[in-house]
Structure 1
Amino acid sequence: MRVTSVSFLASLIFTMAAIKSALPEAVTGTFNYFAFGSNLWSKRLHMGSPTAVRKGFGYLENFRLDFFHYAARWRGAPATIVEQQGHRVWGALWEINATNLPDLDKQEGVHNQVYKALTLPVRTPSGETLECRVYQLVKNPAPLEGGEEERPFERQPSKTYMDVIVRGAKETGLPEDYVRFLETVKHNGYTGDPQFEIDLAVQDKNL
């Protein structure tokens, strides 16, 4: 029994040391996370990070929301942030226990070099600035030519994905004009992984 306890403690210490190395700001055992895609919706985020607690919402200044790459689970292009002056990306602010950091990184495909983790300043409506963990696609798209109607098929998210994002944006309480913008994003009409869709219960179109 004692050997098992010592082994568990050693494993825990190693895990926490690795987390601190990967996320220096996680000095209190938690970290701030800014979600702008599917993790806006609490049900989606809690599937992999059950310790997440919503702390409000905020925005990234001089970034735009875009969609690129291909996510097999969602059957379309996932969300990313791209640096661009004069734009804002709104999202949810979450406080997550550092023990869930590996789970969040895995969800975002960090180890497969799909997304990379950044630490960026997020501003709240009250004027506060928080340093948050944010995920950005490793390969980001060029500026979109024209409006949403001109979005090429390979840069279109699936309908299921956008349903989840819009649901999460409303749940978070994001500004109405930003929610309306999300509702105009051109999607490819596809639904996501059937079982995943059932798990999320997003078949209900009453968003």
Structure 2
Amino acid sequence: MSGAAGDFMYFAFGSNLLKERLQLANPSAIFRCTGRLKDYVLKFGLWEEHVDNRWHGGVATIEFCPGGEVWGVVWTLNNEHLISLDNQEGVNLGMYSPLEVTVETNHGLMLCRTYQMNHFHACPPSPQYKQVVCLGAEQNGLPVEYLRRLEAVQANNYSGPSILDQIETVMK
């Protein structure tokens, strides 16, 4: 799970695909490569049935599924950002649990930290969350057919403010 001394590798598959989103709380994040997690599928949902969150809809998680695949980005982060990444993922609140996974990359297999939602309840993402995921997939050159699958995900009808507003100011 570690790269150079003092660093760890993180496999992102949701909003943290987008560099500007990840670096809001984890400025040490550096793109390493893209990769594929075999035998998992991407799902959108909530960690409790009727919880409101800052994204106003479902967020990404992975679920074990033989034959499935999830594409994402391997980031290298300083160990000092392990706590901020855990906090961003709500580990302290029981929303997600850290998971160690083996990701297939052009550089071989990489052991990475990732996160899986606890107590998953399916829920469509907000259009803003879906947009951040798709922008990140595009930004990092994930396979076109995978990007099409992301674009085909049904979103809810939320149209108010979201974290996307914060990210867009960083991207300008």
- Percent of aligned pairs sharing the same letter: 38
Q: Contact 2:3–2:76 at 8 Å: present in 1 too?
A: no
Q: Contact 1:31–1:95 at 8 Å: present in 2 too?
A: yes
Matches within 5 A, 1:55-94: 55-69=32-46, 70=51, 72-94=53-75
Alignment partner, residue 136 of structure 2: 168
TM-score (norm 2): 0.90
Q: Structure 1 residues 26, 127: CA separation in 2 closer, same or farther (over 3 Å shift)? A: closer
Richer in strand (by share): 2
Alignment partner, residue 132 of structure 1: 112
Alignment partner, residue 164 of structure 2: 197
Richer in helix (by share): 1
1:140 CA drift (Å): 3.1
Number of aligned residue pairs:
166
Q: Structure 1 residues 25, 197: CA separation in 2 closer, same or farther (over 3 Å shift)? A: closer
Matches within 5 A, 1:112-131: 112-124=93-105, 126=106, 128-131=108-111
Task: Work out the CA distance in 2 between the residues paired with 1:127 and 1:98.
Answer: 22
Task: Work out the CA distance in 2 between the residues paired with 1:25 and 1:167.
Answer: 27
Q: Does 1:42 align with 2:54?
A: no
Provide structure 2 residue ranges, at least 5 long, that are not aligned to the other structure.
Answer: none
SS at match of 1:68: strand
Task: Work out the CA distance in 1 between the residues paired with 2:62 and 2:120.
Answer: 8
Matches within 5 A, 1:134-153: 134-140=114-120
Provide structure 1 residue ranges, at least 5 long, that are not aligned to the other structure.
Answer: 1-23, 142-153
| Structure 2 letter corresponding to 1:68 | G
Q: Structure 1 residues 26, 128: CA separation in 2 closer, same or farther (over 3 Å shift)? A: closer
Comparing 108-117 and 61-70, the one that deviates more: 61-70
Alignment partner, residue 5 of structure 1: none
TM-score (norm 1): 0.75
| Structure 2 letter corresponding to 1:72 | N
Q: Contact 1:71–1:77 at 8 Å: present in 2 too?
A: no
| Structure 1 letter corresponding to 2:139 | E
| Structure 2 letter corresponding to 1:47 | L
1:197 CA drift (Å): 2.9
1:27 CA drift (Å): 7.4
Alignment partner, residue 14 of structure 1: none
Deviations 1:135-192 (A, max 9, x none): 0001235xxxxxxxxxxxx510110000000000000100000000000001102146
Moved over 4 A (4+): 24-27
Task: Work out the CA distance in 2 between the residues paired with 1:177 and 1:117.
Answer: 28
Task: Work out the CA distance in 1 between the residues paired with 2:60 and 2:39.
Answer: 16
Task: Work out the CA distance in 1 between the residues paired with 2:167 and 2:101.
Answer: 29
1:56 CA drift (Å): 1.1
Q: Which has the larger radius of gyration?
A: 1
Task: Work out the CA distance in 1 between the residues paired with 2:147 and 2:157.
Answer: 19
Task: Work out the CA distance in 1 between the residues paired with 2:86 and 2:60.
Answer: 15
Task: Work out the CA distance in 2 between the residues paired with 1:173 and 1:71.
Answer: 31
